[in-house]
A and B are shown apart, each in its own frame.
Chain A
Amino acid sequence: MHSSVLRFNALVTFAVAILALICALASFSDYFNNPSPTADVKVLSINWFHKQPNGNEEVRITLNISADLRSLFTWNTKQVFGFVAAEYETPQNALNQVSLWDIIIPSKEDAKFLVQITNKYRFIDQGSNLRSKEFNLTLHWHVMPKVGKMWADKIVMTGYRLPDRYR
């Protein structure tokens, strides 16, 4: 501590080290949060179901998506990214996932919602696999903390089926 500059240096170093410690503690406090999110997706209608000239099939679908993701939020949550994906099996692939809609939830208040939408992203399959196809609609969420590692989870809703003929 021979000069003001030296004292200032020591203070800054110690202050930053302690800041890192309290941020780590804040991140650790997330482990005490037990989230219990709920979600429900209903298919209102299949708007159309086409076969494209290049052999691919496309679906336009209207969904009712309702979810309560408020319990995912802690004081250390920056935002939650959620998306709904259609998941199905084909002879070529064990799992096909097509993202139909997504949302960025910046705060706890915005985390309970009910939306009626047509798919934001195109539901296209390569090949002619979708007729009469059974598929799941899964709501995934990625929780991005202010300090710490991102984590993700999902709710799988089963029992949806595409028509057996184009329309």
Chain B
Amino acid sequence: MDWQGQKLAEKLMQIFLVAFAVVAFVVGYALGSFQAMLLIYAGGVLLTALVTVPNWPAFNRHQLSWLDQSEVDRHPRPQAAASQSSKKKTTKQK
């Protein structure tokens, strides 16, 4: 999963679980059935797991574009500097 996908999956998980918990409690209380509350919530947990845990394509829409290997070869890694004061610079290449 890419970063955006991970964020989406986590948000979906939280919203689904809380929503199912609320629905389960309200329906259980209205029906006077503790078992109904537990069954609805269990169903909700399973559904949420099905939606957010596997690596669905929908969570892979914002791929990171890693650097091409040919481009990497053209820019060799800088050597470790002899002086202690040199700072590490990261350069972005398009």
In the complex, chain B residues whose CB is within 8 Å of the CB of A10: 10, 13
Contacts A10-B10, A19-B41, A75-B29 hold; do A4 and B53 have CB atoms under 8 A apart?
yes
The interface size bin for chain A is: 20 to 34
Q: Which of A1-58 contact B (CB under 8 A)?
A: 1-2, 4, 7-8, 10-11, 14-15, 18-19, 21-22, 25-26, 29
Interface set of B (CB-CB < 8 Å, partner A): 1, 6, 9-10, 13-14, 17-18, 21, 24-25, 28-29, 31-34, 37, 41, 45, 48-49, 52-55
Can you name 14 A-B residue pairings with CB atoms under 8 Å?
Answer: A1-B1, A1-B10, A4-B53, A10-B10, A11-B17, A11-B49, A14-B13, A18-B41, A22-B21, A22-B24, A26-B37, A75-B29, A75-B33, A147-B34
In the complex, chain B residues whose CB is within 8 Å of the CB of A1: 1, 6, 9-10
Alpha-carbon distance A15/B44, docked complex (angstroms): 10
Which of A2, A22, A146 is within 8 Å of B41, CB to CB?
A22
Asked if A76 is at the interface of the complex by the 8 Å CB criterion, the answer is: yes
Give the residue name and chain of the A residue nearest to B24 (CB): A22
Alpha-carbon distance A80/B41, docked complex (angstroms): 27
Alpha-carbon distance A106/B45, docked complex (angstroms): 29
Inter-chain contact A8/B34, CB cutoff 8 Å: no
Residue picked from A1, A8, A26, A147, most chain B C-beta under 10 Å: A1
Q: Report A85 CB to chain B, min CB distance, Å.
A: 31
Not counting A26-B34, A75-B34, a sample of 7 additional A-B residue pairs whose C-beta atoms are within 8 angstroms of each other reads: A2-B6, A8-B53, A11-B45, A21-B21, A22-B21, A26-B29, A29-B29
Q: Report B72 CB to chain A, min CB distance, Å.
A: 24
In the complex, chain B residues whose CB is within 8 Å of the CB of A75: 28-29, 31-34
In the complex, chain A residues whose CB is within 8 Å of the CB of B13: 7, 10-11, 14
